[in-house]
Structure 1
Amino acid sequence: MRPLRRNYGRDRAYYRIVDDLFGFIPHNIELYKLALIHKSASLVLEDGRSINNERLEYLGDAVIEAVTSDYLFIEYPDRDEGFMTQLRSKIVSRQSLNALAVKLGLDVHVISNGGAGIAQKHIYGDAFEAMMGAVYLDQGYEFVNRLLINDIYLRFLNLEELTESETDFKSRLIEWSQKHRHRIEFRTEHDKEYASNHPVFCCTVLIDDMEVGHGAGDSKKEAEQRASFSVSQYLSDEQCASLLDKVDRLRAHEKHTR
Structure 2
Amino acid sequence: MFLKSLFGYAPNHLNLYETALIHKSASKLDSQKNLVNNERLEYLGDAILGSVIAEFLYNRFPNQDEGFLTQMRSKLVNRAFLTELTYQIGLNNYIKSNTNNTAENSHIYGDAFEALIGALYLDKGYKRTREFIIKKLLANYVNLSEVQHTNTNFKSQLIEWSQKNKKEINFETTEHLSGDNRNPSFITVITTDGQPIGQGEGSSKKESQQNASKQALEHLKATEPGSF
TM-score by length of 1: 0.77
Out of 3, 13, 21, the residue aligned to residue 28 of structure 1 is 13
Aligned residue type for 2:173: T
Structure 1 residue aligned with 2:86: 101
Q: Matched residues in 1 for 2:165 and 2:63: separation?
A: 33
Larger Rg over CA atoms: 1
Q: Which residue of 1 aligns with 2:151?
A: 166
1:21–1:105 Cα contact (<8 Å) kept: no
Say if 1:184 and 1:72 are closer, same or farther in 2 by CA, change over 3 A: same
Classify the secondary structure of the residue corresponding to 1:204.
Answer: strand
Is 2:186 the counterpart of 1:201? yes
- Give the counterpart of 2:226 among 211, 228, 239: 239
**Conserved 8 A contact 1:21-1:106:** no
Q: 1:29, CA displacement in angstroms?
A: 2.1
* % identical equivalent positions: 41
Q: How far 1:180 sits from its partner (Å)?
A: 5.0
SS where residue 222 of structure 1 aligns?
helix
In structure 2, the CA distance between the partners of 1:189 and 1:116, relative to structure 1 (3 Å rule), is: closer
* TM-fit CA distance, 1:105: 1.2
**Hey, what does 1:148 align to over in structure 2?**
133
Query: How far apart, in 2, do the equivalents of 1:179 and 1:57 lie?
Result: 41
Match for residue 18 of structure 1?
A: 3
Structure 1 position 127 matched with structure 2 position 118: no
Structure 2's unaligned 5+ residue stretches are none
Whether contact under 8 Å (2:102, 2:201) holds in the other structure is no
Q: CA separation in 1, counterparts of 2:171 and 2:179?
A: 21
The number of residue pairs the alignment matches comes to 226
Q: Structure 2: which amino acid aligns with 1:176?
A: W
Amino acid at match of 2:65: D
- Equivalent position SS for 1:166: coil
Between 1:198-207 and 1:28-37, the stretch displaced more is 198-207
Secondary structure of 2:197's counterpart equals: strand
The 8 Å contact of residues 56 and 130 in structure 1, kept in 2 or not, is answered as yes
Q: Closer, same or farther in 2 for the Cα pair 1:114/1:216, shift >3 Å? A: closer
Residue 178 of structure 1 deviates from its aligned partner by 4.1
Distance apart, 1:238 and its partner CA: 4.3
Cα deviations across residues 209-229 of structure 1 (Å, max 9, x unaligned)? 654321112222221111111
- The answer to whether residue 102 in structure 2 is matched with residue 113 in structure 1 is no
In structure 1, how many angstroms separate the alpha carbons of the residues matched to 2:199 and 2:102? Answer: 17
Aligned partners of 1:189 and 1:68: how far apart in 2? 34
Shift of 1:95: 0.9
| Matched AA of 2:73 | R
Q: CA deviation at 1:206?
A: 3.8
Q: Which residue of 2 aligns with 1:254?
A: none
In structure 1, C-alpha distance between the alignment counterparts of 2:76 and 2:227, rounded to whole Å: 29
